[in-house]
Structure 1
Amino acid sequence: MQETTPLVLTVLVLGYALVSKQVARQYAAPALFFVLIGMALGPFGLHLLEAGPRTEGYTVLAQLALTVILFNQAARLNMDRVRWHGLATLRLLLIGIPLTVALGALTAAVLLPVLPWWEAVCVAAIVAPTEVALIEALLEDHRIPERVRHALSIESGFYDGFALAILLVALGLASERTEPGDDHWAWFIFSTEVLSLLAGAAVGLAGGVIVSWSRRHDWMTDTWAQLATLALAFICFQIGEHIEASGFVAAFTGGLAFAFVSRRRIDDELPTQVSDAAAQLLELMVFAMFGAFAVIDGWSRADWRIVLFAVLALFAVRIAAVLISLVGTGLPTASRLFIGWFGPRGIGTVVLGLLVVDRGDIEHADVIGTIVVVTVTLSLVLHSATVAPGIRRLASARVSVPSP
């Protein structure tokens, strides 16, 4: 990134911090504000944000953000809570996520016939991950049933890991089509799935043991415990990349392994304020750069097919997958529709799209990049605009027809 860009991004973060509580009260995604400001300050506006000739700085920033988010999400996941809250959450994970990708791939194949099948699967996996934390107030509003908030939170936490695993397989198979007879794709799939899992698990387990031992012996403060988790996230990523696997898969697996060890060795849960703040800081900077360099250019290249696919992927595909997966769970229709509607797309979709463009040797990377831009911006606008009325409608439905 150019010399002025870090200063501009820092000032943006300070400015948002001053009004962050007011933004949360409006149920608006902070990422939307950073996208809009990025558009105003980027090369299509005031030229205060620059990313260099090949945008390496932007890619690195996005990778750091997703690494921390994946590790934090995995470290917070508690399978005991998933089992406790019953069938709805499990069905969202085991049926809803694969069904969303499958329906999304079919939709892409029909609307975008230029894409070969495995590239259509790549697109579906990229646009599938939800990030309900983009609208943090959604998870704190007690007008929403606790069962619904929990299901949204757990599903969002798992989505990046599931979608990443599917994407890497599809990316290897899509790349193979451009190099017939080359077995490199088979090694690519093996390394990104198996080696990444082993590397992440090893770092997470070792890190969990060390951090737990230090905490039990009162050698580590709460602040440094959180900084240690950030360090472990980056170590997972770096080792995964060093062995030519996937640093993102390693980070997610490392977070799961770390949580498994730490919960059994420490009586109290580790605080997460520092690590969560770091993740959000990196994410908002990414969205500022996304607004500056991707949004206007991406929309200028989008045609009606891409826009229609984005709308269907965001709403029709997700709602259908959620409604099907939650059949027989006892959730009221209003709650199921609410879960289906509110699946904001965020940093996961952005970085998975970058992954395809940077690492995938596929034919239509430019089309996939345009789809990412259209999908994420539509999601930020429409989900931010409909959260408040959606919550009011759900609350009124609960009053008129109490859930069992």
Structure 2
Amino acid sequence: MIVEPAVFVVVFAGLLFAFSLLSRRISGTVLTAQIFFVAIGILLGPAGIDLLGIPATSSFVLLLAEVALVITLFTDAARIDIRSLGENRQLPGRLLLFGLPLTIGAGVALAALLFTDLTLAEAGLIGAILAPTDAGLGQAIVNNPGVPVRVRQALNVESGLNDGGAIPFFFLFLALTEAEAEVAPLSLLLSLVVEQIGLGVIVGLAIGFAGGWLGRWSLSRGWISGIYWRIDILALAIIAWLVADAVGGSGFIAAFIGGLATAAAFKRVREEEVSFAEAEADILNLAVFFIFGLIAGGLIGSIDWTVILYAVLSLTVIRMVPVAISLIGAHLGRDSVLFLGWFGPRGLASIVLLLIAVDEAGGIAGMQTISLIVITTVLASVFAHGITANPAIRWYARRLAALHPDAPERKGGEELPTRGGMSTTGRASDGYRGRNPPL
């Protein structure tokens, strides 16, 4: 059953309200918000009772997903101050500079090996789409004080920045795929990719530095107040995206670079600055996961064993081996390397990049296979990482207890803001410390 976007919004808003009423009660259980909305989407969609449906090719779906990713890219980049990590910047640096390219390469190689009907460019598209990790799905880890701050912040910084790092690879492989399908000459497509990346970087730097400087200038004079501390970040993210798109650049790259530039110009973007924009992004993210559930449910019957095998490999070998290689010389214990390798959940960025690929190159021969692989991997990640988060934290804490006090994992460091906010004690900050909120 296909419904109008207005009906979808009403249903989603009702589900969001219902989940919010129980959110504190179910916190700490295996039922994450992402699991809830994906599961409800499958239940209400064509694979379930068929009460709700919305096509993946809908302009409404693509716009909603793009806005969600734009705000997430900007706020994730803006809230992470690499300078504050001090010596602890080594771990996220290794994961981003070495682990990310190796993950993409491993994803491409195994996709080409398992799916011989795909071209190398199509396999590359799979590798790039599934390389980014989702900070939202990893909140249970990065907000838990039971995980050492050094390990926690490595995952926090990696998930906040690697989606921006994977996007240029995605555009490159998308151009190669379109060239193979003779959509346009390769030289033209590659020049467009370079133009998109270059203009996206220029627009992001210009808007980020200008916006950050103006924000700091206004704040120093006491001109900006209240909720407008929060609105300015949301406004800058949207401006960077739309301006870059208007001049032919990548709005995603502009949003990511804009977030980094804003943080640099503002010197340190405070937690309150990004909280409003993150709240908006979280709502949109859950809407995307709900849509994902509606779409994924209808494709479950088409999934075969090779797709399932690749999904399992993507969450294990394709992620864990590059992480292990990138951490050679970091002197972390085997348990820490395994923990860092496992918690690379796939989510929002992978969903949005797939929607873009379908919109721009939906007619290529391998798109059905690409869609099945990405959907299966994200679906497996939502449930596997959500269910294993708390048990894995308890297991890791027991293993850490046996380590020497001078072990590299125990090295201290400054707490950085995480998605949803972090108090100095390492607990998620919700504005009150008691069991119940003030009335």
TM-score with structure 2 setting the length: 0.87
**Does residue 62 of structure 1 match 2:60?**
no
Match of 1:206 among 188, 206, 210: 210
Letter in 2 for 1:341: W
Q: After superposition, where does 1:327-342 map in structure 2 within 5 Å?
A: 327-342=328-343
Identity %, equivalent residues: 35
Which residue number in structure 1 is paired with residue 288 of structure 2? 286
Task: Please say if residues 82 and 89 of structure 1, whose CA atoms lie closer than 8 Å, have aligned partners that are also in contact.
Answer: no
Which residue number in structure 2 is paired with residue 252 of structure 1? 256
Render the CA deviation track for 1:275-325: whole Å, top value 9, x for unaligned.
111111110011111111x11222222221111111101111111111111
Render the CA deviation track for 1:350-379: whole Å, top value 9, x for unaligned.
001111111237442222111111011000
Which residue number in structure 1 is paired with residue 11 of structure 2? 8
Which residue number in structure 2 is paired with residue 128 of structure 1? 131
Q: Aligned partners of 1:259 and 1:77: how far apart in 2?
A: 8
State the Cα distance separating 1:244 from its structure 2 match.
2.5
Specify whether residues 275 and 182 from structure 1 end up closer, same or farther in structure 2 by C-alpha distance, changes over 3 A only: closer
Which residue number in structure 2 is paired with residue 302 of structure 1? 303
Question: Secondary structure in 2 aligned to 1:384?
Answer: helix
Q: After superposition, where does 1:82-161 map in structure 2 within 5 Å?
A: 82-161=85-164
Specify whether residues 191 and 28 from structure 1 end up closer, same or farther in structure 2 by C-alpha distance, changes over 3 A only: farther
Which residue number in structure 1 is paired with residue 174 of structure 2? 171
Q: Aligned partners of 1:46 and 1:206: how far apart in 2?
A: 51
Which residue number in structure 1 is paired with residue 378 of structure 2? 376
Specify whether residues 196 and 363 from structure 1 end up closer, same or farther in structure 2 by C-alpha distance, changes over 3 A only: farther
Match of 2:38 among 17, 35, 38: 35
Task: Please say if residues 164 and 249 of structure 1, whose CA atoms lie closer than 8 Å, have aligned partners that are also in contact.
Answer: yes
Task: Please say if residues 102 and 124 of structure 1, whose CA atoms lie closer than 8 Å, have aligned partners that are also in contact.
Answer: yes
Specify whether residues 363 and 207 from structure 1 end up closer, same or farther in structure 2 by C-alpha distance, changes over 3 A only: farther
Specify whether residues 280 and 296 from structure 1 end up closer, same or farther in structure 2 by C-alpha distance, changes over 3 A only: same
Q: Aligned partners of 1:237 and 1:289: how far apart in 2?
A: 23
State the Cα distance separating 1:137 from its structure 2 match.
2.5
Which residue number in structure 1 is paired with residue 410 of structure 2? none
Question: Secondary structure in 1 aligned to 2:328?
Answer: coil
Q: After superposition, where does 1:316-327 map in structure 2 within 5 Å?
A: 316-327=317-328
Q: Aligned partners of 2:21 and 2:116: how far apart in 1?
A: 47
Q: Aligned partners of 2:378 and 2:143: how far apart in 1?
A: 23
Between stretches 151-160 and 175-184, larger displacement belongs to 175-184
TM-score with structure 1 setting the length: 0.94
State the Cα distance separating 1:206 from its structure 2 match.
1.6
Question: Which blocks of at least 5 consecutive residues in structure 1 are unaligned?
Answer: none
Task: Please say if residues 39 and 295 of structure 1, whose CA atoms lie closer than 8 Å, have aligned partners that are also in contact.
Answer: yes
Q: Aligned partners of 1:124 and 1:335: how far apart in 2?
A: 25
State the Cα distance separating 1:270 from its structure 2 match.
4.8
State the Cα distance separating 1:82 from its structure 2 match.
4.1
Letter in 1 for 2:68: A
Q: Aligned partners of 1:57 and 1:136: how far apart in 2?
A: 28
Task: Please say if residues 91 and 326 of structure 1, whose CA atoms lie closer than 8 Å, have aligned partners that are also in contact.
Answer: yes
Letter in 2 for 1:287: F
Between stretches 222-231 and 69-78, larger displacement belongs to 222-231
Match of 1:232 among 229, 232, 236: 236
Specify whether residues 257 and 109 from structure 1 end up closer, same or farther in structure 2 by C-alpha distance, changes over 3 A only: same
Name segments (4+ residues, structure 1) moved above 6 Å.
Answer: none
Number of residue-to-residue matches in the alignment: 401
Render the CA deviation track for 1:30-49: whole Å, top value 9, x for unaligned.
11110111122234445553
Q: Aligned partners of 2:403 and 2:87: how far apart in 1?
A: 25
Q: After superposition, where does 1:261-280 map in structure 2 within 5 Å?
A: 261-263=265-267, 270-280=272-282
Which residue number in structure 2 is paired with residue 398 of structure 1? 400
State the Cα distance separating 1:135 from its structure 2 match.
3.8
Which residue number in structure 1 is paired with residue 191 of structure 2? 187
Which residue number in structure 1 is paired with residue 431 of structure 2? none
Which residue number in structure 2 is paired with residue 387 of structure 1? 389
